[in-house]
Amino acid sequence: MQVRDMGGLLAVLTSWSVQTIAALVFLSILLKVFRGIRNTPGRRPPGPPAWPLIGHYHLLRSGLPHHTLCKIAEKYGPIVWLELGAVSVVVVSSSDLAREILKTQDHIFASRPPGILGDLLFAEGQDLIFSPLNENFRLSRKMVSTELLSQQRIDSFQNLRRELLLRTIWSACEEGHANRYTNLCDKMHEQFMSLTTRMLFRMDGRAQNKDLNDIIHDLTRTGWFVTEEYFPLLKPLDLSGQIKRLKNLGEKYLHLVDSIIDNRLKEKSNSKSNTEEDLLDVLLAMSNFSRLQVKVLLLDMILGGGETSPDTIVWAITELLRHPDIMERLQNEPDDVIGKERLVEEEDLNKLEYLQAVVKETLRMYPVVVLGVPHFSTEAAKVAGYDIPAKTRVMVNLYAIGRDPKVWENPTKFDPSRFLNSPVDVKGHHFEVLPFGAGRRKCVAMNLALLSVAYNIAQLIHACTISLPEGWTHLDIDVEESLGTSVRRQNPLNLLINRRLPSDVYRRAGLNVSGQ
């Protein structure tokens, strides 16, 4: 859900013909007129010099946008004004200004901008993530928090989470036993793909439905950045081909879920379905949501949940491997609190103080939804003395906030102990670390995400020994990032994973350990 692959436009520009350039000049005049109409008087936040036509678009072209925006903030301050083509964007990068946007003036900034993505994939924002602040938002937010992701519902999937995590751990241990490396990123994504599709549709995306698996894969790996969003006059030309691609993907998804829903309704009418309830059942039982809304709300769950948690777990393991002393301290904790005669269970997690500190420190340094989801002002407002017109996009640079040297000592150092004996949490109450955002658009699945991340890390370090490839030391592990729907490792993390506890422990947990 980030600004991604900003390279498209300039690459396209250089290859265009003279006629196209002439058309662009014409469009630029229209753009100026358009901006002129939109511009209201007032004192704007500072920002770098803008280019004609593309504004600041080129600045976000090279490198990762959250890094570039950090550099811009260093030079121009914690609130900047950017023109990305025809779209005005305010970016805030400090905890004080995040509080202003997400708490003090939340009532003004809690909407979402209209856009191509919401239109093409989410039926013009009839879902939750892309919904403007309207009745649909209120209804779907309430339904998701009290029905789909209530504590009771999260608890009802506990056995499923356990089964899938143990399956993951065991398959990694089997690879390790055969002296084969495990690609941790792939393993984690596979686990969460299965978790998501089983929670939603009672079917394992990986094993049972290749089509579903493929579509989800394409949706999560697709470039979500659409050049034409920033140059609406180019929309009919679809020069990047992104619009067509997203439209096709959206249609394929809706068609597939339609057939899943038809089958489910048929099963129900044949009263075959007395199996456990999944989230599709819950949604179908809600008479105030149309079939289309059901489909796009399910898509929110897939896209919100598919990548974020596994990417966070991989960042945690990355940093633990880079810091063997922290890894050792973390491993000692469950050994002391739980012992080595059984596996960690979800009920144990709150007793593991250092583990909780590791989770918070990981989310401080790697808030995987680095720029949050864009907010949108519904009326004119004043922020830090500047005038922000109505209908302005606002992005909060969560990455910059977690690494702000004015707030955090040695911000780039992975040091979980900074969260020990500290009241600071990551749940949107403390604005110096906001991996889930804050206010009325805060991540609706925060509790589920925190639970899954902590459970996975605890199980991995307690039940497994994790070794680096032969010849590697902790200094060889890089932290290069790449941007999809969340920020993940650029390079794979190939590890040798083996069982750490007596084989009896795994057997008692229900795993078939005959091979090892």
Q: Is 508 helix (H, G, I), strand (E, B) or coil?
A: helix
Give every CB contact of residue 122 below 8 A, 6+ residues apart in sequence.
129, 130, 296, 299, 300
Q: What angle do CA 215, 220, 221 make, to 5 degrees?
A: 100
- Closer residue to ligand HEM (CB): 366 or 506: 366
Taking the complex as a whole, the smallest distance from the CB of residue 152 to ligand HEM amounts, in Å, to 16
Taking the complex as a whole, the smallest distance from the CB of residue 15 to ligand HEM amounts, in Å, to 36
Integer Cα distance of 516 and 503 in angstroms: 8
Count of residues interacting with ligand HEM (CB under 6 A): 26
Taking the complex as a whole, the smallest distance from the CB of residue 161 to ligand HEM amounts, in Å, to 12
Q: Pick the closest to residue 230 from 11, 79, 19, 35 (CA basis).
A: 35
- Closer residue to ligand HEM (CB): 308 or 498: 308
Q: Which of residues 131-150 bind ligand HEM (CB under 6 A)?
A: 141
Spatial contact of 369 and 2, defined as CB atoms under 8 Å apart: yes
- Closer residue to ligand HEM (CB): 176 or 305: 305
**Per-residue x/- track, 453-472, ligand HEM (CB under 6 A):** x-------------------
- Closer residue to ligand HEM (CB): 262 or 277: 277
Told to check if 300 binds ligand HEM by CB under 6 A, we report yes
Told to check if 128 binds ligand HEM by CB under 6 A, we report yes
Structure tokens at 47: 């920002």
Taking the complex as a whole, the smallest distance from the CB of residue 509 to ligand HEM amounts, in Å, to 25
Q: Could you tell me whether strands 481-483 and 487-489 are parallel, antiparallel, or unpaired per DSSP bridges?
A: antiparallel
Contact pick of 372, 402, 416, 484 for ligand HEM (by CB under 6 A): 372
- Closer residue to ligand HEM (CB): 197 or 227: 197
Give burial (CB, 10 Å; 0-12/13-18/19+) of 262. Answer: exposed
Taking the complex as a whole, the smallest distance from the CB of residue 514 to ligand HEM amounts, in Å, to 34
Told to check if 369 binds ligand HEM by CB under 6 A, we report yes
Integer Cα distance of 163 and 202 in angstroms: 14
Told to check if 368 binds ligand HEM by CB under 6 A, we report yes
Among the candidate windows 261-269, 303-311, 318-326, 351-359, which touches ligand HEM by CB under 6 A?
Answer: 303-311
Taking the complex as a whole, the smallest distance from the CB of residue 325 to ligand HEM amounts, in Å, to 25
- Closer residue to ligand HEM (CB): 444 or 483: 444
Q: Which residue is nearest to ligand HEM (CB)?
A: 304
Q: How many CB atoms lie within 10 A of CB 52?
A: 9
Type of residue numbered 94: S
Q: Pick the closest to residue 386 from 58, 51, 76 (CA basis).
A: 76
- Closer residue to ligand HEM (CB): 24 or 301: 301
Told to check if 168 binds ligand HEM by CB under 6 A, we report no
SS (HEC) of 442-457: CCCCHHHHHHHHHHHH
Told to check if 391 binds ligand HEM by CB under 6 A, we report no
Taking the complex as a whole, the smallest distance from the CB of residue 313 to ligand HEM amounts, in Å, to 9
Taking the complex as a whole, the smallest distance from the CB of residue 192 to ligand HEM amounts, in Å, to 8
Q: Pick the closest to residue 203 from 121, 149, 142, 267 (CA basis).
A: 267
Report the side by side order of strands in the sheet with 393-396: 79-84, 87-92, 393-396, 375-376
Among the candidate windows 212-220, 259-267, 308-316, 339-347, which touches ligand HEM by CB under 6 A?
Answer: 308-316
Does the annotation flag 443 for ligand binding?
Answer: yes
Q: What angle do CA 360, 394, 486 make, to 5 degrees?
A: 45
Q: Which of residues 396-455 bind ligand HEM (CB under 6 A)?
A: 435-437, 441-445, 448-449, 453
Taking the complex as a whole, the smallest distance from the CB of residue 264 to ligand HEM amounts, in Å, to 20
Q: Sign of dihedral through CA atoms 289, 293, 294, 298?
A: negative
Measured CA to CA in angstroms, residue 153 lies from 137, 279, 344, 441 at distances of 21, 9, 21, 21
Integer Cα distance of 227 and 467 in angstroms: 42
- Closer residue to ligand HEM (CB): 141 or 245: 141
Contact pick of 240, 309, 377, 392 for ligand HEM (by CB under 6 A): 309
Spatial contact of 150 and 169, defined as CB atoms under 8 Å apart: no
Footprint of ligand HEM (CB under 6 A):
128-129, 141, 300-301, 304-305, 308-309, 312, 367-369, 372-373, 435-437, 441-445, 448-449, 453
Q: Which residues are annotated as a binding site for heme?
A: 443
